[in-house]
Homo-oligomer: A and B are copies of this chain.
Amino acid sequence: MTRWSDNLPERLLMGPGPSPVPAAVRLAMARPMLGHLDPAFLAIMDGVVENLRWVFGTHNRLALPLSGTGSAGMEAAVANWVEPGQHILVVAAGLFGQRLADAAARQGGAVDVLEVPWGTALDPGQLEDRLAHTQVPYHVVALVMAETSTGVLQPMEGLSDMVHRHGALFLVDAVTAIGGMPVDVDRRELDVVYAGTQKCLAVPPGLAPFTASERALDVLRRRQTPVPSWYLDLSMLERYWGGERFYHHTAPVSMIYALAEGLSLVRSEGLEARFARHRQASEALAAGLEALGLSLVVDPSVRLYSLTTVYIPDGVEDAAVRGRLLNDFHVEIGGGLGPFKGRVWRIGTMGEGARLEPIARVLSGLESVLQRQGGVGAAVAAWHPA
């Protein structure tokens, strides 16, 4: 009889996440279980909260990891800050922006979508225009800082001023940013921010780092209707993660261990060094892909450090290439989503993947597979002149 763990392959995870998880973080989960109200566990929670504030760049009182993946962070953001009938503006520049609009609409929000072409960033003038000309003021303006479906890093300068001047809360998805580039919650005056652990933090998927400003908490306290989600009601969660330790639900203890260890590795490296490493990794990958003759989707000025989108050359079969990379080289890269499906690959340089060795492995694997596919044979030959 085969067991689930027989012959588990070891993959180099260079897709859109999860990213490679260091052994120290994986072994942290093997630590003996503690009760969720044990003083020893509460002390670990306090350390996690302190480190989350640091990596978010905030002094917000409310900073905690939600007991679900990054998408649970999105859910919590809209469940707590979108009330039925409220006007919400969602900037959708990719799949995760669209999903945010969908989730907000499910909460009963009257959602307007500001569509931005895939592969580009929002032009602040467009947002200003929309905010200035809306009939009904928006309660919330939401956008994705690091769009994993397109590989665009949204420039954030000036946006929160604009949003606040028009009386709205600024809600931001930082899932693929956190730990790889500045989120800067306080400096940028972001109100509601959710993230994920399985990207640049190099922790397994399963938790959603979350923070909210005092302004956002004031709005939450003035809600007309109860938060429809019991599980993600932040007024209650805050009482467990804050000083009161009011029992809400059983925390996912082992995952919190992983996050505690992951954050302590980020502390050891330092944020500036880590951000620089992600930027360099992105540049190295881009240079390598271009040397292979491939074309990148996103302009360098708004290219996401942690995820690079690259066009699939004409005549090259998407699934066949990714399959060979996975099976022959044990390298995972991501396919395109939505309009990018079959047209684009998504290559992650997140956490431990944002280093030269894994980047060299993905490039050499891709080179070898593409050579056999013949699609970019000429370019590869040019790169290795005889």
Give chain A's interface residues, CB within 8 Å of chain B. Answer: 3-5, 8-11, 13, 15, 17-21, 23, 26-36, 38-40, 43-44, 47-48, 67-72, 74-75, 78-79, 99, 102-103, 105-108, 196, 198, 204-206, 226-232, 247-255, 257-258, 260-261, 264, 326, 332, 337
* Apart from A5-B260, A72-B249, A204-B252: 9 A-B pairs, beta carbons within 8 A: A5-B28, A13-B34, A18-B34, A69-B251, A70-B249, A108-B228, A196-B250, A205-B252, A206-B206
Chain B residues near A260 (CB, 8 Å)?
Answer: 4-5
Contact A18 B33 (CB under 8 A): yes
**If A228-B106, A228-B108, A252-B255 touch, does A35 touch B47 (CB 8 Å cutoff)?**
no
List of B residues within 8 angstroms of A229 by Cβ: 75, 79, 106, 228-229
In the assembled complex, the Cα of A338 lies from the Cα of B285 at a distance in Å of 57
- Of chain B, the residue at the smallest CB distance from A51 is B4
Q: Once the chains bind, are B67 and A206 in contact (CB under 8 Å)?
A: yes
| 28 contacting pairs across A/B (C-beta < 8 A) | A3-B264, A4-B43, A4-B44, A4-B47, A4-B257, A9-B34, A17-B250, A18-B33, A18-B35, A21-B32, A29-B204, A30-B30, A35-B332, A36-B205, A38-B326, A67-B68, A69-B249, A69-B251, A71-B231, A79-B229, A105-B226, A106-B226, A106-B227, A106-B228, A198-B250, A205-B251, A205-B252, A206-B253
On whether the beta carbons of B230 and A99 are closer than 8 Å, the reply is yes
Q: What's the Cα separation between A5 and B39 when bound, in Å? A: 13
Is A205 touching B250 in the complex (CB atoms < 8 A)? yes
CA distance A102 to B227 in the complex (A): 11
Q: Within 8 Å CB of A106, what residues of B?
A: 226-230
A18 near B253 with CB under 8 A, answer yes
Q: What separation, in Å, do the CA atoms of A47 and B48 have in the docked complex?
A: 33
Distance between Cα atoms of A376 and B107 in the complex (Å): 54
A118 to chain B, nearest CB (A): 17
CB distance from A305 to the nearest CB of B (A): 20
Whether B264 lies near A4 (C-beta < 8 A) is: yes
B-side contacts of A28, CB under 8 Å: 5
Give A32's nearest chain B residue, CB to CB: B10
How many Å lie between the Cα of A105 and that of B20 in the bound state?
42
**What residues of B have a CB within 8 angstroms of the CB of A255 in the complex?**
204, 206, 252, 254-255
Given contacts A108-B228, A206-B252, contact A8 B32 (CB under 8 A): yes
Q: Among the listed B74, B204, B257, B332, which residue makes an inter-chain contact with A231, where contact means beta carbons less than 8 Å apart? A: B74
User: Complex formed: what's the CA distance from A318 to B8 in Å?
Assistant: 48
Is there an interface contact between B11 and A35, defined as CB atoms closer than 8 Å?
A: yes
In the complex, which of the residues B3, B9, B79 contacts A40, with contact meaning CB atoms closer than 8 Å? B9
CB of A250 within 8 A of CB of B70, answer yes
One of B47, B74, B107, B230 near A103 (C-beta < 8 A): B230
Smallest CB-CB A-B distances: 8 pairs: A206-B252, A29-B29, A71-B249, A75-B231, A103-B230, A204-B254, A4-B260, A26-B30
- Among candidates B8, B35, B254, residue contacting A34 with C-beta atoms closer than 8 Å: B8
Which residues on the B side are within 8 Å of A332 (C-beta)? 35, 38
